[in-house]
Structure 1
Amino acid sequence: MKRIIPAVAALAIVGLALTGCSAGSSGGSVQTADNGDLVIDGEVVATADVYKAAKDEGSLVFYTGGSETSEQQVADAFTDATGIDVEIVRLAPNKLQERILSELSAGQLGADLIRISGEDLIAQLADQKAFQKTELSPDISKALIPEAIYDDGLYFNSFDRVYSFAYNNQVVSSDTAPKNWADLIKPEYAGKLGIVQVGAGGSTAALTRFQLDTLGQDWLESYAAAKPRIFDSSASLTDALSRGEIGIGPVPIATAYSAVLDGAPLTIATPEEGAAAYPFYLGETSSTKRPNASTVFINWLLSSAGQELAASIGDYPVHTGLPNPTIGDIGLPAADDGFVHRATLQESLDNLQPDASLWSQIFGYTG
């Protein structure tokens, strides 16, 4: 069932004050045990034979629907920790899905690993046998929340990303800036808003479900009545928001924070009504030519080192016992503290098409 937890006090994070902060790119303290196992921050990430074979493979290709900036931080940290290079192919989840399915049908899937949001997308990839099971290190496996592992390791939830909203603090005065979702439908923000179209991926599906379920259809209709500019991806909306082409828009916290670190004048809000959480799924492809490097990467991503990196840019880890996510020096609310609204995989699938149809009708969107 979806967790709807009591509202928390609103918190605004001023982007310009955070531009000097780093999300961190260290893979943790690396040690090789006497037997050759790869040990990072006290966790066995790979046995000696797997790690040696992974280093011999030398690199891997990572298809992702995540933020280009944040995924590059991940790739750099992994390479620093292991010596294994990562080539990133980044597209919006719906476009990435099209590419993956096309390559699968031609028997030429180029990815060793895939990370993507969207319950319908991951279910389709699993049905098309895009993945093979990955063996986790016992240290990693026992540290994960049960909901992180699907089909005995066929794929995983690598973290929960949160969809809130942000505003350009050079366009919208902090004195009159919105703090809550209810503020966004005030008349003074008409003409300054943006939104990503509902079919862009799991993120927008989760956002729409949250908005309909928590804020209500009347709220969404009022937002649409303000004639927001509609974007094809959160990356393109964030770019327009950073340039001041729009003043306010819903955006994943990690995507907005990556822009802040690049100098964008954005303020990220954690509204009283909460925000939508959505998983980023991760799987090793059945066609990988680098199975050992892929296995090491998945174990590292799910280790405390990989999960701490995710948390440092505002994502909620699936590794137990880690601190709450942060944005610079600001801590986000705990996962069970009222801010995060989640739907189960089945709830997401059940509502996907009805929500998309209703959203398109409300916004007059034909794609």
Structure 2
Amino acid sequence: MKKKILAAALAALMIGTVPQMVYAADGDEMVKSYLTGLDVPESEGRVRPVAVMLNNIREGCPQSGIANAGVIYEAPVEGDITRLMGIFEDYQDVERIGSIRSCRDYYIFYANEFDAIYAHYGQSAFVLPYFEQHLIDNLNGIKLGSTAFFRSSDRKAPHNAYTNYELIQQGIDKMGYRREFKDGYEGHYVFAEDGSENTLPQGTVANEVHFDNFNHNHPYFIYDPETKKYSRYQFGTAQVDDLTGEQLTCDNILVQYSDVTTYEGTSYKKIDTITDGNGNSGGKGKYITRGRAIDIIWQKDSPWGVTHYITMDNQEVKLNPGVTWVEIVQDDKLDAITYQ
């Protein structure tokens, strides 16, 4: 994808002007990505993305293909560990994506905000009612097996389930899911306009952001003022993509404080994706970019609606184009996040 964009930009420079309509080298029209706000080929940016449930314990790291995700969610699951959900539109040439683990119910609500097809390998019992009612299009490794997933030989089960572009397409065909966005879908995030950036001059310094609330992997981000990106760390070292060996980076971090409890009689987390636990719509949060952080609130009008991130002066947050990490944090652990 990046090569296609570069080719389009070079073509525009060669003729000394920027055309009204920009095309990739293969003639594919360029559009604004709903995930990143960047210019991408229409064949990527106007086809439903896939949201993949990713392993995030030591035995499952480093993940493969995660660097191609436009949006990544991190949320707690049972046992004080986290799982990640990468949302992909640019994955056609990725050798493998994973390792893939089982679904938790709150993730399907996050995935649906992007009209994504949700890929996972199994699920908790609390997800089954949603699947039985066909409330979200999903690719389940337990049901689809080798049609849409494969097991690698370099890791032990259950940490060796993967997929790739071809297998995902086979799974979509098998399940009969649409590839087009649903009618009326206009994207999720609001991005800064071309030629501008959101520098948060009113924000507090956030050159390092530590999430000590996640006491298994202890994730944190460090800002690089030269690249204007945050580098991701966990388990005391750089988090990399297994396919490239390169460290993961992002342009935006959204912190979404949420009511987190457990289902009665179980260790499974129950995360409220709509209210703050007191019945009030949404909750508090932070927007972090360009080495600074501001307070925000998040709002969501229905389980299957889109989460809106609102500044304290009642404006929709404008993200800087690029990769976004969304951190779902228990709302009584605000002090466990530190900024330097």
Q: Which has the higher contact order (CA 8 A, sep 6+)?
A: 1
Q: TM-score, normalised by structure 1?
A: 0.23
Q: TM-score, normalised by structure 2?
A: 0.25
Q: Which has the higher strand share?
A: 2
